[in-house]
Structure 1
Amino acid sequence: MLHLNINDEISPLKVVVLGTAKSCGPTPKPEDAYDPKSLEHILAGTYPNEDDMVDEMEAFASVFEQYNVKVYRPEVLKDCNQIFSRDIAFVIENKLIIANILPDREKEVEAILHVLDKIEEENILHPPEKVHVEGGDVMPWNDYVFVGTYTAEDYAEHITARTNIHAVQYLKEQFPHKNIKSFELRKSVNARENALHLDCCFQPLGKGKAILHKNGFLVEEEYQWLVNFFGRENIFEITADEMYQMFSNVFSISPEVVVSEKNFTRLNNWLREQGFVVEEIPYSEISKQEGLLRCSTLPLIRT
């Protein structure tokens, strides 16, 4: 059995589900795009091809291997994009919460049943239907759980709005001893302004550091709260273009080791200056779908 344990974003990783790019299907039609960045690449004829994305994910898998992390992969479904395993479920403490995801993607959960079978049934939570939540919006951080939301009345009109007010309430009920801290995110049809998930504009790191992008947050006080929480001197503030490239969507294997995209030169240099080991891999093709390293992972156990 798997004894789930996730209390933060950085403790040494032992077990993870890494998505797969195999058989991810043809380039979607514009009307089937889930996010503005994918749409941009579909229209430009630069949507990534499967072989390149498979190579990028294998590079990620080999870094996990190097650090002795046990990696599960989803069963490959024909013509189904299964790269972003973070969207379909997430773990807080010893509970795995199955996300109420965009309906078209429910079969992705079935593809990890071989993993879910190893978890005690009482530790798998199925939120009620009104609770919309995706793992990219949920970050356990010790006594806190940071949650990205969108609560305006036009929520239903935004395909980019993924986590609602009911999700915040649900997490408060399930984890009453945690401080559930929510942040309103900026939603836009313009890929350069859209914060699809919280991890698109914020990422806590080891050594008390964090990556932030001010304009990803709708409410300046909420952004300021994070600045005060981590301390301005500990924050790497990314530009709008760097948010668009997904600079904040790196992944910590431990407090000292960060996996990052090899083209993120400014960030990677800063991380090394702060004393991190940076494992650089190519991931720029996958980033065209508005997701990167954190999005591709579903951590199950950190020690």
Structure 2
Amino acid sequence: MLNLHIKNETSKLKTVVLGTALECGPIPLPEEAYDPKSLEHILAGTYPKEADMVLEMETFAKVFEKYGVQVFRPKVLHDCNQIFSRDIAFVIEDKLIKANILPDREEEFEAILHVVDKIDPKNILYPPEEVHIEGGDVMPWNDYIFIGTYTGKDYPDYITARTNKAGVEYIRKMFPDKKVKSFELRKSITNPKENALHLDCCFQPVGNDKAIIHKNGFLVEEEYEWLVEYFGKENIFEISPEEMYHMYCNVFSIAPDVVVSERNFKRLNTWLRAQGFTVEEIPYAEISKQGGLLRCSTLPLVRE
């Protein structure tokens, strides 16, 4: 049996599901794109090749191996993009919450049933249909659960709006002892530099008390200010629109002092090292063309 345990984003990682890029299918048509960044690369003819993405993910897997992390991979589905395992489910405390994702991604959850079967059924939550929520928007942070959302009246018009108000309320109800804090995110279907697909595209804690953040990803300035105050200005690394576009916020913590980052994130990686972090740099630029990066590719199940 797997005893789930996730209290925050950075405690020492024990067990994780890492997505797979095998058999991820042909280049999508423009109308099949789920986010503006994928669309941009489809139109430009620079959409990533499967072989390159497989190589990047295997490099990530080797880092987990180096740190003694138990890694599960999804069952490979033919012609299906299974890279972003964070979208299909997420863990808070000892509960696995199945995300209500875009309907044509339902089979991705079925591909991790060999992992789900190791979890006590009473610890698996299946939110009702009206609850839209994805793991990229949900960040357990000790007493808090931070959630990215979009509650504008035009929510149904945005394929990039992933977590709705019902999603926030559902988490509030399921975890009554936690302080649930939601943040309205900026959404765009056409401009990847103006689109925070998930909360982890514009914010992420690192270590015990630090954070990476992009101000323009937040629609409400007071909500952004709240985070700055909570972590303290001196503990925050502010990123530019260009850096958000390249997914600088979407690194991944293996431990409070170990961060896996993209090798091209020079400015961020220098800052992390100056703060005392060990930075494991890996190539992940091809995968980033699909609008997700390191955190998106992982589904942590157990941290210390």
Q: Secondary structure at the match of 2:193?
A: coil
Aligned mates of 1:301, 1:250 — CA distance in 2:
18
Q: Which blocks of at least 5 consecutive residues in structure 2 are unaligned? A: none
State whether structure 2 residue 223 is matched by structure 1 residue 236: no
**What do residues 62-83 of structure 1 show as CA deviations (whole Å, max 9, x unaligned)?**
0000000000000000000000
State whether structure 2 residue 210 is matched by structure 1 residue 209: yes
Aligned to 1:132: 132
Aligned to 1:179: 179
State whether structure 2 residue 85 is matched by structure 1 residue 85: yes
Q: TM-score, normalised by structure 1?
A: 1.00
State whether structure 2 residue 262 is matched by structure 1 residue 255: no
Aligned mates of 2:35, 2:101 — CA distance in 1:
14
Aligned to 1:226: 227
Aligned mates of 2:115, 2:174 — CA distance in 1:
22
Shift of 1:207: 3.8
The residue correspondences of 1:1-303 to structure 2 (distance < 5 A) are 1-189=1-189, 190-303=191-304
**What do residues 1-22 of structure 1 show as CA deviations (whole Å, max 9, x unaligned)?**
0000000000000000000000
Aligned mates of 1:273, 1:175 — CA distance in 2:
36
Amino acid at match of 1:205: V
Aligned length: 303
Shift of 1:208: 1.1
Aligned mates of 2:48, 2:206 — CA distance in 1:
29
Shift of 1:293: 0.1
Amino acid at match of 1:92: I
Give the root-mean-square deviation of aligned CA atoms.
0.4
Q: Which blocks of at least 5 consecutive residues in structure 1 are unaligned? A: none
Aligned mates of 1:172, 1:208 — CA distance in 2:
24
Amino acid at match of 2:271: W
TM superposition outliers: structure 1 runs of 4+ over 3 Å: none
**What do residues 176-207 of structure 1 show as CA deviations (whole Å, max 9, x unaligned)?**
00001000000012101100000000000104
**What do residues 101-137 of structure 1 show as CA deviations (whole Å, max 9, x unaligned)?**
0001000000000000000000000000000000000
Aligned mates of 2:121, 2:149 — CA distance in 1:
28
**What do residues 126-181 of structure 1 show as CA deviations (whole Å, max 9, x unaligned)?**
00000000000000000000000000100000000000000111001100000010
Aligned mates of 1:183, 1:50 — CA distance in 2:
34
Q: Secondary structure at the match of 1:68?
A: coil
Q: TM-score, normalised by structure 2?
A: 0.99
Aligned mates of 1:106, 1:181 — CA distance in 2:
28
Q: Secondary structure at the match of 1:279?
A: strand
Q: Secondary structure at the match of 1:106?
A: helix
Q: Secondary structure at the match of 2:115?
A: helix
Aligned mates of 1:115, 1:258 — CA distance in 2:
25
Q: Percent identity?
A: 74
Aligned mates of 1:300, 1:207 — CA distance in 2:
19
Aligned mates of 1:275, 1:14 — CA distance in 2:
22
Q: Secondary structure at the match of 1:258?
A: strand
Q: Secondary structure at the match of 1:215?
A: helix
User: Contact 2:10/2:208 (CA < 8 Å) preserved in 1?
Assistant: no
